[in-house]
Structure 1
Amino acid sequence: MKVIKIGGGCLKGINTIRQISHLMPIYGKGNAIVVSALYGVTDILIGGIKKALEDEDKILPHLETILKLHLSVASMLMDSEECLQGYKADLAETLKLLERYYFGLNFTGELTPKMKDAISCIGERFSAQLLAWTLKSYGQSCAYLLPQHLKLYTDGKFGDATVDLEATAEAVKETLIPYMAEHEIVIIPGFYGISQSGNITTFGRGGSDYSAAAIAAAINAEVLEIWKDVDGFMTSDPKLVPEAAFIDRLSYEECAELSYFGATILHPRTVEPVRQRNIEIVIKNTINPGRQGSVISDTSEQAAKVIKSITYTEDISTLKVHASGVGYRPGILSIVAGAITDAGLNIKSVVATQTCITFLLSKQDLEPAYNALMQIKPVPFRMLEKEDQLVLLAIVGEGISSSKGVAARCFSAIADVDINVELISFGPSRAALYFLLHKDELHQGIHALHATFFDTKMTIPAA
C-alpha cells in the first residue's frame, strides 16, 4: 500500500487538474492520496480573514469568489451531473462552516491561533471533495476521509503541530484501514490534524508533505510518493545553473538539509515520520509519470565527490547582539534567545563568539525579533545590528563533515570570484555546510561552487 501526495503545484489550472484526475485511477488504486488545496486557495482563505475583521459586508462576496472558483473547475472536470450535484452539496456545507468562522471573527474582532488554523486548512477539504467526486464521475470507487475522522492526532500546537505517531497508528486501524477496504481510492486533505481534545491544528505552511509522511508511517506504507511537476532533486537550481544534473538517490539526512536550506521539492519535516519506519520517499513527475524520480531512503549512494547538491535561500537575515564577554557570561544567550522565541518567532541558527551572538532568522521575523530584544530590561547588550541583504548558500552531502578539504575548496572557489563570506557554519550537521553572502553575489557564488564540485563550466546567466 502506498501513500501518494499531490501538491498545490499539481493542482494549478484546469488542464493540470484534469491531468491529475486522469492519473489518479491509473496509479492511485488501492492507495491513500493526500492532497493540498488548489493552487492559491490557501492565500485566498487567509485573505478572507483580513476582510472579515475589517467589514462583515465583505464576507459573503469573498465566499462567492471561493464558490465560483471551485464550481468552475468542477463543471469542467465531472462527467456526471449526479456527481456534480453531490459535490455542490458538500461544497455548500463546507462553505457554511467557513462562513460561520468569518462572521465569528468579525463579531469577536480577534484572530486566535485556533481560528487561523481552522480557516487556513479548509482549502484542502475543498480539494479532497472535488477530486473524490471527480473520480466518482469517472466510475471509480472513491471517497474522501477528513483528518478529524481519520484521527490524525497531533501534539495540539496551533500553526506548527507535530503528529503523535503512536496514537495515530493505533487509530488508523479502526478508521483508514477499513475505509480503504471499502473504496479503491481514499483521498485525505493534507496540512492538518487534530489534537486529542479535537482541535484542528495545522503543520505550518506547506505541511501537506508532512501529513502525508505521517499517514505513511502510521499505516507502515511500502512507499511515500510525492507527485510534482519535476523529476526530483538536482545538483543545484536549474533556473540559476543550467548545467545542474538530476540526483537519483539521497539519504534522509541529505534530503532534510536540502529542504531546510531552500530546495522546494519537499517540506523540511517530511522525512521525520518515514525515517522512523524506514519508508522510502519517491518523487514522481506528473508530466512523465513512468519515470523514476529521486529516491530518498536511509542510505545514499556515496558520491565520488561527497557533495550531492548546492542549494540556497534568500529568506534569511541576521540579528547580531553585541556585548562584552557574551561567550562566557552565564545566562545571556538564554535571555536573548528566550525573548525571541517567547515572541513566537523561529530561530534558524545561532552562532556565538566572545563579543557577539548572531541569530539567523527568516526575513519576516527580523523586525519583530529586534523589537522583542529591545523590550528586555535591564538591557544585557551594548548594541543590536540588523542585516537582511543576504543569501544563504548550503553545500549538502552525506559525510561532508568528515571529508577533508571541503571547506577549503568552498573558500577558495568563493575567493577566486572575489566574494566575501559574511558567516560560515561547518560541523553542526554531518551533511551540510552553509555560509552567508551578500544577496548581489548569489549568482557568482552558486556558479563558482557548482563549477568547483561538479566540474561544470562556470557560466553566469545575464540578469
Structure 2
Amino acid sequence: MIVMKFGGSSVANADRIRHVGRIVQDALPRKPVVVLSAMGDTTDYLLEAAEKALEGTVAFDSIKDLHIKTMTDLGLPSSLNQEIQGLLKDLETLLVGISLIKEISPRTKDYLVSFGERLSVRIGAAYFRSLGFDARAFDAWDVGFVSDSNYTSAEVRKDCWPVIQERIGSLVSQGVVPVVTGFIAKDPQGAITTLGRGGSDLTATIIGAACKAEEVQVWKDVDGILTADPRLVPDAVPVEAVTYEEAAELAYFGAQVLHPRSMQPCSAVGIPVRVKNSYNPSATGTLIVSKLEKRGSLVRAITTKKNVTLVDIVSSRMLGQYGFLAGVFQCFADHRLSVDMVATSEVSISLTLDAPHDLAHLKRDLEKIASVDIKKNKAIVTLIGDVRRSSAILEKAFGVCNQEGVQVQMVSQGASKVNISFIVDNEEAPRIIQALHREFFKGGV
C-alpha cells in the first residue's frame, strides 16, 4: 500500500484532476490511498467569503463556479451534483449565520474551511470512478481521524491510529481506492477541526504510519527537494535523498518542502516519504528516510530565510556568572518571542528572531542587564549536509563570502549536526546563495 497526497495546485481544475487521475490509475498495482487538499485557492476564497459575511454580504460565487464548472468539464453524473449542491447549501447557511451574528469563532472558522477538502474529494473520487476503478470519497473522520479541540491547530490523537489502520486496511483489501480529505478531523464532541500548518501532508503521513505503508508520496509542483530555490538558482537540481532531520532543517530555514510537524508520524515508525512533481510524474523525486548509508557531496542543499532580526547582547557580567543566560531568555519568553539561531561567547550572545516585531519593550528589559544592539533586514543562509565534515564546508563557504566581499555577521552550527547557518544582509543573500551553489554543486549532485 502507498499513500498519495496531492496539494491544491495539483487539483486546481478539471485538467489537473484528469492528470492526477492518470497518476493514481498508474499506481493501482501498489494499492493507493489518496489524500486531497482543497482545489486551487478555495481555502483563501472561503476565508474571503467569511470576511464579506462579517460585513453583511453573503457571496461565494468563486467557490460555487469553480466546483460546478469542474464537474461539468469532467462530465460527472447528476447524482454527484446533488451532493455538491448540498454542501454548497450548507456553506451558504453558515455564511448567513456569520453575517447575522457578525462573529466567527475558531470553531466556526474550522467548519468553514473544511468545505474545500470535502468538495474536492467528492469530485476527485467521482472522476476516478469514471476511469474504471472503485474510488470512494471519505471525510477524514469517517476513516477514524479524531483530534483534540484545539481549533485551527488541532492534534490528531494517537489512540485513533489503530482505528485508521483497521478502516483504511479493510477498504484497500476490498480493492477500494479511498480518497480522503486532508487537513481536517473531528474532536470527541463531533466538532470539525483543522490540523494547522502542513495539515494535509500530516493527514497523509498519519495514514502511512498507522497503516505501515510502503511509502508516502507527497505530490507538489517541483521535482522533489532541490539543491536551492530555483527562483534564485535556475540550475538547481533535485536531491536524490535526504534524512528526516535534514528535511526538517530545510523546511525550518525557508525551503518549501514539508512542514517538520507533518513528517513526524513517518519519522517515528520509519516509513519513507517521497516528494514528487504532479506536473512531471516521471521524475524520481526526493526520498526522505531515517538514515542514509552513503554520503555524496559535502552539502545536500542550500536555503535562505530573509527578513530576520539579529539581536546582539553584550555584558561583562556574563563572565563566570551562572544564571545570566537564563535571565536573557526569560526576557524573550516574557515577550512571547521565539528564537531561531543562537551563538554565544564569554561576554556576548547573538541570536535571531523570525519575523519583524516591535522590540522596544524587549530592548528596554534587556538593557537592565546588558548592552543591546538590534539589527533588522538580515538573512539566514543555511547549508544542509554532512556536518561531520564541517571544517571543509566552512572553509569553502567562507572562501565564497570573502570572494563576494560579504561580511558574515553570525555563525551557528545546529545541535542537529546537519546544518551550518550564518547571517548576512538581506540584499546579499541571493548573490551568496548563487555563489555557494556554484561552489558546492558545480559538478552536479
TM-score range, shorter chain: 0.7 to 0.9
Alpha-carbon distance between aligned partners in 2 of 1:387 and 1:42, rounded to the nearest angstrom: 36
Letter in 2 for 1:450: H
Which of residues 339, 348, 356 in structure 1 aligns to 2:334?
339
1:184 aligns with 2:185: no
Structure 1 211/269 Cα, relative in aligned 2: closer, same or farther at 3 Å?
Answer: same
Question: How far 1:126 sits from its partner (Å)?
Answer: 1.4
Deviates more, 1:331-340 or 1:280-289: 331-340
Alpha-carbon distance between aligned partners in 1 of 2:204 and 2:231, rounded to the nearest angstrom: 28
Which of residues 62, 66, 80 in structure 2 aligns to 1:65?
62
Alpha-carbon distance between aligned partners in 1 of 2:149 and 2:339, rounded to the nearest angstrom: 21
Secondary structure at the counterpart of residue 34 of structure 1: strand
Alpha-carbon distance between aligned partners in 2 of 1:319 and 1:448, rounded to the nearest angstrom: 23
Alpha-carbon distance between aligned partners in 2 of 1:208 and 1:128, rounded to the nearest angstrom: 12
TM-score, normalised with respect to structure 1: 0.84
Identical-pair percentage: 27
Question: How far 1:4 sits from its partner (Å)?
Answer: 0.6
Deviates more, 1:261-270 or 1:276-285: 261-270
Counting matched residue pairs gives 438
Which of residues 125, 130, 136 in structure 2 aligns to 1:137?
130
The answer to whether the 8 Å contact 2:45/2:62 transfers is no
Which of residues 293, 298, 318 in structure 1 aligns to 2:309?
318
1:94 aligns with 2:93: no
Q: Which residue of 2 aligns with 1:232?
A: 224
1:47 aligns with 2:44: no
Alpha-carbon distance between aligned partners in 1 of 2:360 and 2:180, rounded to the nearest angstrom: 41
Cα distance per residue 1:1-60 (max 9 Å; x no partner): 11111111212343223211233223246321011111111111111222122x22x21x
Alpha-carbon distance between aligned partners in 2 of 1:122 and 1:445, rounded to the nearest angstrom: 43
Secondary structure at the counterpart of residue 101 of structure 1: helix
The answer to whether the 8 Å contact 1:401/1:427 transfers is no
Structure 1 215/385 Cα, relative in aligned 2: closer, same or farther at 3 Å?
Answer: farther
Matches within 5 A, 1:12-27: 12-27=12-27
Q: Which residue of 2 aligns with 1:31?
A: 32
Alpha-carbon distance between aligned partners in 2 of 1:377 and 1:310, rounded to the nearest angstrom: 36
Question: How far 1:371 sits from its partner (Å)?
Answer: 7.8
The answer to whether the 8 Å contact 1:118/1:200 transfers is yes
Structure 1 450/131 Cα, relative in aligned 2: closer, same or farther at 3 Å?
Answer: same
Question: How far 1:359 sits from its partner (Å)?
Answer: 4.1
Q: Which residue of 1 aligns with 2:154?
A: 161
The answer to whether the 8 Å contact 2:312/2:374 transfers is no
The answer to whether the 8 Å contact 2:310/2:378 transfers is no
Deviates more, 1:214-223 or 1:201-210: 201-210
Question: How far 1:380 sits from its partner (Å)?
Answer: 5.7
Alpha-carbon distance between aligned partners in 2 of 1:118 and 1:371, rounded to the nearest angstrom: 38
Structure 1 109/254 Cα, relative in aligned 2: closer, same or farther at 3 Å?
Answer: same
Alpha-carbon distance between aligned partners in 2 of 1:183 and 1:89, rounded to the nearest angstrom: 26
Letter in 2 for 1:201: T
Letter in 2 for 1:395: L
Alpha-carbon distance between aligned partners in 1 of 2:341 and 2:145, rounded to the nearest angstrom: 30
Deviates more, 1:225-234 or 1:440-449: 225-234
Question: How far 1:186 sits from its partner (Å)?
Answer: 0.8
1:282 aligns with 2:274: yes
Letter in 2 for 1:72: K
Q: Which residue of 2 aligns with 1:395?
A: 383
Alpha-carbon distance between aligned partners in 2 of 1:413 and 1:357, rounded to the nearest angstrom: 23
Unmatched 5+ stretches in structure 2: none
Q: Which residue of 2 aligns with 1:193?
A: 185
Which of residues 428, 431, 437 in structure 2 aligns to 1:441?
428
The answer to whether the 8 Å contact 2:241/2:288 transfers is yes
Question: How far 1:211 sits from its partner (Å)?
Answer: 1.6
Secondary structure at the counterpart of residue 136 of structure 2: strand
Alpha-carbon distance between aligned partners in 2 of 1:333 and 1:28, rounded to the nearest angstrom: 56
Q: Which residue of 2 aligns with 1:460?
A: none
Secondary structure at the counterpart of residue 201 of structure 1: strand
Question: How far 1:188 sits from its partner (Å)?
Answer: 0.6
Question: How far 1:67 sits from its partner (Å)?
Answer: 0.9
Cα distance per residue 1:390-445 (max 9 Å; x no partner): 33221101x31553332233222112201122332213221111222222112210
Q: Which residue of 1 aligns with 2:408?
A: 421
Secondary structure at the counterpart of residue 299 of structure 2: coil
Q: Which residue of 1 aligns with 2:250?
A: 258
Question: How far 1:278 sits from its partner (Å)?
Answer: 0.9
TM-score, normalised with respect to structure 2: 0.87
Alpha-carbon distance between aligned partners in 2 of 1:102 and 1:332, rounded to the nearest angstrom: 48
The answer to whether the 8 Å contact 1:35/1:127 transfers is yes
Secondary structure at the counterpart of residue 276 of structure 2: strand
Secondary structure at the counterpart of residue 121 of structure 1: helix
Alpha-carbon distance between aligned partners in 2 of 1:262 and 1:438, rounded to the nearest angstrom: 16
Q: What RMSD in Å do the two structures reach over aligned CA positions?
A: 3.0
Question: How far 1:112 sits from its partner (Å)?
Answer: 2.7
Secondary structure at the counterpart of residue 260 of structure 2: coil
Structure 1 66/337 Cα, relative in aligned 2: closer, same or farther at 3 Å?
Answer: same
Letter in 1 for 2:269: R
Structure 1 321/87 Cα, relative in aligned 2: closer, same or farther at 3 Å?
Answer: farther
Structure 1 111/431 Cα, relative in aligned 2: closer, same or farther at 3 Å?
Answer: same
Alpha-carbon distance between aligned partners in 2 of 1:339 and 1:96, rounded to the nearest angstrom: 46
Matches within 5 A, 1:360-371: 360-361=353-354, 363=355, 366-367=356-357, 370=359
The answer to whether the 8 Å contact 1:401/1:429 transfers is no
Structure 1 52/139 Cα, relative in aligned 2: closer, same or farther at 3 Å?
Answer: same
1:452 aligns with 2:439: yes
Question: How far 1:243 sits from its partner (Å)?
Answer: 3.3
